[in-house]
Amino acid sequence: MKKMGLDSFRFSISWSRILPKGKLSGGVNPLGVKFYNRLIDDLLANGIKPFVTLFHWDLPQALDDQYSGFLSSNIVDDFRDYADLCFKLFGDRVKKWCTLNEPYSYSVNGYNGGSFAPGHCSRYMGNCTVGNSATEPYIAAHNLLLSHAVAVRLYKSKYQSAQKGEIGITLVTHWFVPKSPKSAADWEAAERALDFFFGWYAHPITYGDYPTSMKRLVGKRLPRFTEEQSHMLRGSLDFMGVNYYTTNYAAHNPVLQGVNASYSSDSQIIFTTHLHVDSKAGVPIGTPTGLNWLFIYPKGIYWLVKYVKEKYKNPPIYITENGLADATNDTLPRSVFIKDGMRIKYLHLHLQNLLLAIKEGVNVKGYYAWSLFDDFEWDAGYQVRFGMIYIDFKNNLKRYLKYSAYWYKMFLLH
């Protein structure tokens, strides 16, 4: 990191590494505390500021066993206690906190499609043994939002004045364009998609309630906030983290209400990455990458941050993830992956579009590429490589700077 000239490093704390049982009553793990203290101190000693997330989807197993994790409102108090401990232990040195990373991904992939832990979904949505895709995504999201709100309230009332830090949340969305530009219904679908992806969390955090389109289409399955909860949520951020990777086409898709209901069908939208005009295979929305959902569409990041400015009161924005996936191929030598010209192009074009947005008044304060290192990429595992630093997974995790790392260093210098 120091060699690349980075001045900040974004990482998450593992809840169960600090509290193995998920609760203060279960005891604090001193080795976990020691690990993060060493990490934070070493970063600062090298001129690198920590940007710390409290929850990146690794729920302590004990809390899932005890009350089904974020499906229970019990999680809110336990998350507050965990956050309190982290602020107390590390807040003298950590000046940027994120409560949650991509709560959308956790609630949808964990409780609607079942591809992420805890693997819940309705039988008609996936290969799950338990779950309800019509209700559980919304329940989990509701408790994630309340957990965020209590952690922010605690930090602001107990720690912020002394520690001089800031607290926010990291949200993710694609950008959306109407599949048929001449269709008013598709334009409305593109706008509605932003409500269901981004506004699901951004709207309560800014205004204290869910988007009108969600309340209309989800109906009684969407939980309600009390007046006190709404007040606690409203304005509960010092900054907004935004993760952007790609753009989708959106087309209106009316569905029969109550038939195999799920988060996926509630929005009444079909999402696609290809236009089928003359080509049977379809024309992709952008250049393909190593993941079947990620196509290069740099203008989307410009439109997204402009949207956040206009719709959500122009908060300070940190681009907390933005990057490109290469497909792993063990038959190719390391030298092939190190020459990652497409990644350089991806980063360059997205940063150009961010600069344009900044010149037009969008309050972008920082940028974190995804990812610094090749990683274990959730349900894709080691099948793709996102990093600017190559990791040799078969040779003691040895690291090699890719061409993009050198390019990024020069970008930071100039």
Catalytic residues: 321
Q: Strands (DSSP E) along 155-259, which ranges?
A: 166-172, 175-178, 239-243, 247-252
> Cβ(172)–Cβ(320) under 8 Å?
no
What does 45-76 look like in DSSP terms, one character per residue? HTT-EEEEEEESS---HHHHHHH-GGGSTHHH
42: which residues sit within 8 A by CB, 6+ positions away?
none
Return the axis-axis angle of helices 403-413 and 341-359, rounded to nearest 10°. Answer: 30
- Exposure string of 317-344, with b = 16+ CB inside 10 Å and e = fewer, is bbbbbbbbbbebeeeeeeeebbebeebb
Amino acid identity of residue 136, one-letter, is E
In 10 A of CB 203, how many CB atoms? 20
Return the axis-axis angle of helices 200-207 and 103-111, rounded to nearest 10°. Answer: 130
> Cβ(87)–Cβ(158) under 8 Å?
yes
Return the axis-axis angle of helices 136-154 and 200-207, rounded to nearest 10°. Answer: 40
Strand partners, 391: 399
Q: What is the largest CA-CA distance in the chain?
A: 64
Distance CA 241, CA 255 (A): 33
Distance CA 349, CA 222 (A): 38
Helix/strand/coil percentages in the chain, nearest 5: 45, 20, 40
In 10 A of CB 10, how many CB atoms? 24
> Cβ(257)–Cβ(250) under 8 Å?
no
